[in-house]
Structure 1
């Protein structure tokens, strides 16, 4: 499967700032072509690449006041190997995290999914979240948690993923968030999905059901959105002026929600 990905960012820095980007495909994704071009104040900048857990590639750069333009492009040829499963991951992704209050949602999870285990539990949680939330662009803020989303009954992709993750963790299933490029997504932007550890493998599930899981491309992986933001800045305020993401797959698979799928 060949997938073509681009990301165009326009920023405005009010002063000296450190920027950290998570827009490149993860380290183990098979790329046949890739480019990252950055200019600050019209001058070229070469970011430093850092690799986090799960192959998340960060690009760090320092800028002064003025415009910053970032262009990333990649062609992904073939499929990545399935994500490995480690003992540390089993523990890390059962813990509480900023946006996924598994402890506060534990009574709800126990009441709604009593007696279910394994893949049946995974399917039931995703169906439940899909049925109770409405996808509404711009309906949430960067500080909304899984509990906020459940009370509001609406959100965007990260909110669907956070609620799925929190419920699964509350039921003893390790779960994490993956930021991805998503061919077929409408409207096109970066997308967030949940990965759950069931039967010794990481399975990707998406309660929004807005893009075929078979075509997703991993960018960043972590406990929740705090670990996977496409842009983080330190220092002077940085305004996001423009964002354009494209993701195109030459061949789409018909996503059967009953089929277990790994992020490849």
Structure 2
């Protein structure tokens, strides 16, 4: 399917402030970018680089006053996310080197605390994809999805105790349980067509059967219409913006995803 996705972020800034931005998706096997706009207002110099996970990042110093970041992308993405019941577990010694960082505990995914729970949740499941699916079912049944209320980032342990969370928190728990079983797992932040309420979204991917597969505890079915912006070990790696120094005021953030009938042909917002 063809989608147009846009994000508008407005800040009020008291003094010139350094930012790291992460708002540019990349073309890859699951998505292809046809057109992209990226506007900073007022215009400031931007230095782009690729981080350790391959994400496109921009360094800027935003001036004092009202500052706006506006992005828009036309992209072709998959209608449905791939599934692979029965896809096997890959032994650690056979994993590609670039996958290994997603095995370790991280700041918000304390996988070393979930060894027993993950084993219990996945009992009698075939090692690999079926274990990941059992973990997603556990998170969906045990954690109440509460979009729009999670301002503070919480860890997998915290959301498991609290029993509710936003998409980011539920992804943390899924990732931690997968890693506890020596299954590499990574967080993804991006857009999801038809998400209610509309916002940026987070889900996770697990590496089984020699490739990454999508898992999303917040959605009853694994639909497509996803646009990945950034990948990382947890939410600390995939923040769409990070500011340094004095606090800034976030005045507004507006996310829209529109279906397109084809390249350049927009239909109504979702």
Q: TM-score band, normalised by the shorter chain?
A: 0.7 to 0.9
Aligned counterpart, 1:101 = 110
Structure 1 residues 138 and 77, CA gap change in structure 2 (3 angstroms): closer
Structure 1 residues 227 and 135, CA gap change in structure 2 (3 angstroms): same
Query: Normalised by the size of structure 2, how large is the TM-score?
Result: 0.84
| Unaligned ranges ≥5, structure 2 | 83-93, 262-270
After superposition, what is the alpha-carbon deviation per residue over 1:88-139, rounded to whole angstroms, capped at 9, x for unaligned? Answer: 2332111010000111121211222234212211111111110001111344
2:159 aligns to what SS in structure 1?
helix
Residue 196 of structure 2, aligned match among 167, 170, 186: 186
- Give yes or no for contact 1:205–1:213 (8 Å, CA) kept in 2: no
Q: Does residue 1:111 correspond to 2:120, yes or no?
A: yes
Aligned counterpart, 1:37 = 39
After superposition, what is the alpha-carbon deviation per residue over 1:53-108, rounded to whole angstroms, capped at 9, x for unaligned? Answer: 443111221023211111101101356xx9xx962233211101000011112121
Structure 1 residues 22 and 136, CA gap change in structure 2 (3 angstroms): same
State how 1:162-173 maps to structure 2 within 5 Å: 162-173=172-183
State how 1:3-42 maps to structure 2 within 5 Å: 3-28=3-28, 29-39=31-41
After superposition, what is the alpha-carbon deviation per residue over 1:154-205, rounded to whole angstroms, capped at 9, x for unaligned? Answer: 0000011000000010011110001111111111111000100011110000
Q: Does residue 1:157 correspond to 2:159, yes or no?
A: no
Q: Does residue 1:235 correspond to 2:245, yes or no?
A: yes
Superposition deviation, residue 22 in structure 1: 1.1
- Give yes or no for contact 2:13–2:66 (8 Å, CA) kept in 1: yes
Question: Aligned residue pairs: how many?
Answer: 244
Superposition deviation, residue 219 in structure 1: 0.2
Residue 224 of structure 2, aligned match among 209, 214, 226: 214
1:214 aligns to what SS in structure 2?
coil
Structure 1 residues 211 and 122, CA gap change in structure 2 (3 angstroms): closer
Superposition deviation, residue 239 in structure 1: 1.9
1:30 aligns to what SS in structure 2?
strand
Distance 1:65 1:211 in 2: 44
2:147 aligns to what SS in structure 1?
coil
Distance 1:176 1:248 in 2: 27
1:44 aligns to what SS in structure 2?
coil
Aligned counterpart, 1:59 = 58
Structure 1 residues 248 and 212, CA gap change in structure 2 (3 angstroms): farther
Superposition deviation, residue 237 in structure 1: 1.5
After superposition, what is the alpha-carbon deviation per residue over 1:27-78, rounded to whole angstroms, capped at 9, x for unaligned? Answer: 5442221111111xxx322422222244311122102321111110110135
Distance 2:77 2:177 in 1: 33
Structure 1 residues 97 and 236, CA gap change in structure 2 (3 angstroms): same
State how 1:70-85 maps to structure 2 within 5 Å: 70-77=69-76
Distance 1:190 1:154 in 2: 19
Aligned counterpart, 2:212 = 202
| Unaligned ranges ≥5, structure 1 | 252-264
1:149 aligns to what SS in structure 2?
helix
